[in-house]
Structure formats: C-alpha cells, structure tokens
C-alpha cells in the first residue's frame, strides 16, 4: 500500500485506498489506453484495443468512496520506476487493460465411453481466443487436448488400475489466500487487510515462511485455543464480519 500511495502521489495511478471497482460513466478509457501505448510492454495490446478491440466493462461495485484504481495519462517505464514500484505499476496497468479487453473464449469437448456395465467420460478444452488473458499473464487456461472420437467408435482399453490413497491436511495459508478469505467473510477493507496481516506478524502470532506462507506460532495457537475455550464464536470469521457490517450501518 505504501508503494501504491507513492505512485499515486507521483501521479501515475489514481487514489489506491478504495473498494470501488466500477468505472465512472465518463471515464476516458481510450485516452488512458492511448497513453499506455507509449510503454513497450503494452504497446501491441493497446493498439489492438484502440483499433476496435475495446470492450467497455459493464459490471463492478460502487462503494461510494473513490473511483477504482487505474493508471493515469501520466505514464512511466520500468527504467523510470524499477524494482517493486514498477511491478505494482505494471500490475495496475495490466489489470486496467484487461478490464477493457475482449472476452477469452475456448471450446469444450466431452467423450463418453461404455465398458461392460461401467460408463466413463473424458473432457477436453482448447483456447480459441486469449482475449483479456493476453495482457494478464497470471490468468492461465491450460489446453486439455483429447482425440476426435466418433459416435460408435471402439477403442482398446490400455490399462485398468485401482489406486488407493489417503487425504492430506491442507497447507498453511499464503498471504493472498488469507486476503481472499478475508474478502469472503467481510473482514477488513482493501486498504486495511494488509495492515491486519502485518499486525499479527508483528505480534508474533504467525511467521512468514517460504512462498509467503503464514505459519502460526505457539503463541498464536495458544491464543486461539484460549479464546475458543471461552466462546468458540470469538475465533469464528463471521464474528468480525458481522461487527464490521454493523459499523458500516452506523456510518
């Protein structure tokens, strides 16, 4: 958030402390896309949008505070910003361009087989148009190619195998997974979630392990068990969510 605020003060992005995701009716999509076209990483995609490939977003949430986080007409290159500043700026730009890109499309295929008294099926899919995912590389759709079977076609059974296994416990949550759960349960805002996570780290309730996974400490585990022994609702995510929704009603 500190980096986002710095980019805002430098004039590269709009105000970052907002929960609104819907664009104002008079937002200058073409103007911002035209400005971003001067950045090498976005040039080809912006030209595609400006030549008629732009699709204006219809959905979003209006929280009544500030417009959504977007780049401005003042642009910067990786050489100007560098490091984490560029990564944050690049993410904001790519996300914005993705929201006004065309839909991604793919074809699905399903084949059903009968072997004795048993029925089996196999599903396949292949992308036909990358659409907005072209500019958002963190969204990947993997092709699952299956042969073109014909109705009534007979195929040989190559292998029949029965496997046994055991379920495994879930891994520790990553920071991004925790933020997703906080959003799901209405805990915190976009501006405060990172602060909440930082607080539990500073108080030694959790430590940040490899791959940004949050590992509970002995102190954190004992604290949760203590609250749970008093009242299980004290450690339920619904409690904090209900409190925040009640505060919103008062405000």
Residue 243 tokens, joined: 């409190």
3-state SS record for 9-24: HCCCECCCCCCCCCCC
Q: Taking Cα atoms as reference points, which of 130, 64, 92 lies closest to residue 7?
A: 92
For residue 208, which phi and psi values (nearest 5 degrees)?
Answer: -90, 115
* Number of residues that make up the chain: 251
Catalytic site positions: 15
Q: Are the C-beta atoms of 10 and 61 separated by less than 8 Å?
A: no
Residues whose CB is less than 8 angstroms from the CB of residue 241 and which lie 6 or more positions away in sequence, other chains included:
185, 186, 187
Beta bridge partners of 207: 215
């Amino acid at each position: 958030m500190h980096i986002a605020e710095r980019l805002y003060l430098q004039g590269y992005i709009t105000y970052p402390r907002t929960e609104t995701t819907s664009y104002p009716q008079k937002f200058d999509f073409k103007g911002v896309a035209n400005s971003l076209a001067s950045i090498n990483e976005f040039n080809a995609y912006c030209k595609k949008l400006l030549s008629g490939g732009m699709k204006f977003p219809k959905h979003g949430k209006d929280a009544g505070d500030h417009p959504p986080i977007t780049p401005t007409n003042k642009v910067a290159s990786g050489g100007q910003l560098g490091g984490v500043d560029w990564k944050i700026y690049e993410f904001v730009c790519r996300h914005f361009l993705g929201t006004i890109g065309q839909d991604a499309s793919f074809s699905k295929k399903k084949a059903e087989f009968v072997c004795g008294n048993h029925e089996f099926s196999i599903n396949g899919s292949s992308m036909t148009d990358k659409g907005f995912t072209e500019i958002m590389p963190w969204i990947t759709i993997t092709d699952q190619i299956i042969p073109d079977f014909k109705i009534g076609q007979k195929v040989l059974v190559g292998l029949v195998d029965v496997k046994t296994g055991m379920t495994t416990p879930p891994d520790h949550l990553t920071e991004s997974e925790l933020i997703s759960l906080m959003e799901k349960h209405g805990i915190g805002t976009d501006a405060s979630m990172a602060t909440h996570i930082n607080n539990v780290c500073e108080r030694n309730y959790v430590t940040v392990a490899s791959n940004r996974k949050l590992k509970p400490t002995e102190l954190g585990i004992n604290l949760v068990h203590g609250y749970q022994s008093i009242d299980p609702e004290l450690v339920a995510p619904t409690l904090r969510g209900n409190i925040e929704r009640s505060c919103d009603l008062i405000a």
